[in-house]
Chain A
Amino acid sequence: MPRRLLLVLACFCAATLKAQNFDNIQIHGFATQGFLFSSNNNYLTMNSSTGSMQWTEGALNVTDSVTDKLRVGIQVHMYQMGEFGGPNLVVDWASGDYKFNDQIGVRAGKIKVRLGLFNDSQDVDSLFLWVLLPQSIYPDDNRDYDLAALGGEVYGDLRLGSRRGSLQYSGHVGNTTLDANGGYMRQLAQYGLVFPSPPSGSTSGGDLRWLTPLRGLTIGAGAANYALDGAAPAFNFHMPGSLNVVYYAQWDHGRWHLAGEYYRSPLRFVINTGDGASALINDFRCWYPMLSYSVTRKLQLGSYYSVMSNHAGDTSLPENYSKDWVLSSRYDFNPYFYGKIEGHFLHGTGAGYYNDTNLNGLKPNSTMLAARIGFSF
């Protein structure tokens, strides 16, 4: 069904391209290459303990403003991060967007999900100072599941008057599928749960942010409900609706940028086999504060402290938490090319590690150097 919808959308895009001139068509893209080197443990399935460059990403998009209210577009994306992703292009988003006015618009197709500060843009490296966004809330190994949904969205911008700022809202409904080459599938496989096709399910949610009258200060909250179902010959997998919530704030003041988020994700999986049912319960609570400073127009420095803990287990055990202290820098060589380098001080093994790429066991602490260069146009 999702493939059929994308095919219809692709035909629609092709028809509009053929029907009018090409003045409003835009093509943009980016490409990045990353590097990780860690003192202990292999991170995100890369051979980081010996130094690894198994991290390449790229995307290309085409958009066309058919009228001043209707816009269509598609973005294809590829990523290879250790054993995640692969060389194949996947549709990152493909949508038709009709904006009735500034207060309300609708978008349909495969859409990016706005949730918190960076969910919809977490795979666009050129936007950020950081090589890795706070992995407690934006885990790179699982991002494809959270990033986009096949469905529809309503969005808009409501002005509250010159002394009250404005509200930006969005709400979505749709369907999501686990990334066949992503982290969730790999984690399930470690429990012996191997599926002929990735589990999928419905999602719905929204995000509301207040651009306050205090210049540069934004406060917001969002929630998204996810359900999943999957089947294999020997078992069924079921995740009833799980409501994830996020609260956030950011403040841009001159050269300073301050941000923080708190995210809670209670997840309950039920696995039915011929012998009966068993449940797996998690309660992830994640947060970070981040601070950055633009030293010059080309150089930025920053730091964040990212924490994830699973309160369904003993949070004193390293496997139930992950804490990451990060120092980062970015240099823009010109408007198109940039480079980044950052240091990570990791404590706990609750995120980013996989047993089958750490066969000698995990050490509770590790330091890591991460670097990335990129090109965007």
Chain B
Amino acid sequence: MRKAICTTRAHILGLVILLGGFSAQAQDVVIVTNKGVLISHITPAELKDIFTGARTRFADGSRAIPVVLKGGPVHEVFLRNHLGDNPSEFRARWRKAVFTGEGSMLKECESEAALLSYVTNTPGAIGYLSRAVDGDVVRVITVSP
């Protein structure tokens, strides 16, 4: 029941995010995790390692499951600001892992609403959104050295 309520709230918040739009040039993204993740901040290196597959756990030892958008300005801002990649480089990085047997492709979502819903309902999930959301469904964490 609680999961269903969270999912509904995530969908509503996702719709708000979608309608709010995003200026790719002006903003950075907001890093969010599942509520069960017990960290409040992450270092730039840790964040990059998790989204490039070099690290599979948060600093507290719990499992990290990265999730990204399939494309769009929010995705590109996240890649540029936090990984230093463009979408092609990011895709090649993960395809290398997939086709050499070293890893599996990370989860991709079609929309921010879907990403928010996934993070809300998946223990250990970490993703990004164009703007801050209600802290009741996901945890917003800061990126600092």
Contacts and interface: CB of A to CB of B under 8 A. Distances in A.
Contacts of A95: 101
Main secondary structure of the interface of A (DSSP, over half): strand
Interface of A: 24, 26, 28, 30, 59, 61, 63, 65, 68, 71, 73, 75, 93, 95, 97, 99, 101-102, 107, 111-112, 120-121, 124, 126-127, 157, 162, 166, 168, 215-216, 252, 294, 297-298, 300, 332, 335, 376
A68 B124 CA distance: 11
Interface of B: 43, 45, 49, 54-57, 63, 71, 84, 86-89, 91-92, 95-96, 98-105, 145
A61 B99 contact: yes
A97 B103 CA distance: 9
Given A121-B96, A127-B96, A335-B71, A162 B43 contact: yes
B100 A112 contact: yes
Nearest to A165: B45
B92 A162 contact: no
Given A59-B99, A75-B101, A126 B88 contact: no
Contact of A93 (B55, B89, B95, B101): B101
9 contacts: A120-B100, A124-B96, A127-B96, A166-B54, A294-B86, A294-B88, A297-B86, A298-B88, A332-B88
Nearest to B70: A335
B99 A75 contact: yes
Nearest to B56: A102
A121 B99 contact: yes
Given A71-B103, A121-B96, 7 more contacts: A28-B98, A30-B99, A63-B104, A68-B63, A112-B101, A126-B99, A335-B87
A294 B105 CA distance: 24
A65 B56 CA distance: 13
